[in-house]
């Protein structure tokens, strides 16, 4: 295709069942809500922790994690400023999520876990 020319093939579109869309969308909404709430409770503008989604036994779960990095000799290279006990106290235990599309709603409760993510640097 040259600049300014029409595409040579038609675009391909696909649909996803509403329930599947709701399950996927809730993960993003839940993660954002947990990050915002945790940061607010800790007094930060942004979360001083990693926030993401994992699946535990097939159940989507939000994970907030304190990251600690040590070198091969066991010396601390860096660590998330917030202490683990403070992170546990600040993170909600679950988040209720409602997503909607075209007058349909998908509601669910997503559990939240806190953990320490330890990594080593060479």
Q: Give me the percent of the chain exceeding a pLDDT of 70.
A: 97
pTM: 0.76
Q: Residue 80 — very low, low, confident or very high, per pLDDT cuts 50/70/90?
A: confident
Nearest to 21 by CA among 78, 102, 122, 83: 102
Q: Looking at residues 90-94, what average pLDDT do you find?
A: 95
**Residue at token pair 């709701």:** 22
pLDDT tens digits, residue range 21-64? 888 888 889 999 999 999 999 998 876 788 999 987 888 899 99
Q: What is the pLDDT of residue 2?
A: 64
pLDDT for residue 108 is more than 80: yes
Distance (Å) of CA 92 to CA 7, 49, 79, 85, 95: 49, 14, 22, 13, 7
Decide if pLDDT at 1 tops 70.
no
Q: Count of CB atoms within 10 A of residue 76's CB?
A: 9
* Average pLDDT over all residues of the chain: 87
Flag whether pLDDT at 4 surpasses 80.
no
Residues 53-59: contacts with CB under 8 Å, at least 24 apart: 53/27, 53/28, 56/111, 56/113, 59/111
Q: Tell me, what's the pLDDT at 23? A: 82
């Amino acid at each position: 295709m040259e600049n300014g020319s029409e595409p040579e093939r038609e675009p391909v579109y696909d649909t996803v069942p509403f329930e599947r869309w709701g399950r996927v969308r809730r993960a993003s909404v839940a993660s954002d809500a947990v990050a915002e709430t945790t940061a607010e409770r800790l007094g930060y503008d942004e979360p001083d922790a990693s926030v993401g989604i994992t699946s535990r036994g097939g159940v989507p779960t939000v994970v907030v994690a304190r990251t600690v990095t040590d070198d091969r000799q066991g010396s601390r290279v860096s660590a998330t400023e917030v202490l683990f006990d403070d992170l546990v106290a600040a993170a909600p235990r679950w988040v209720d999520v409602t997503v909607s599309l075209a007058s349909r709603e998908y509601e669910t409760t997503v559990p939240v876990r806190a953990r320490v993510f330890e990594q080593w640097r060479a």
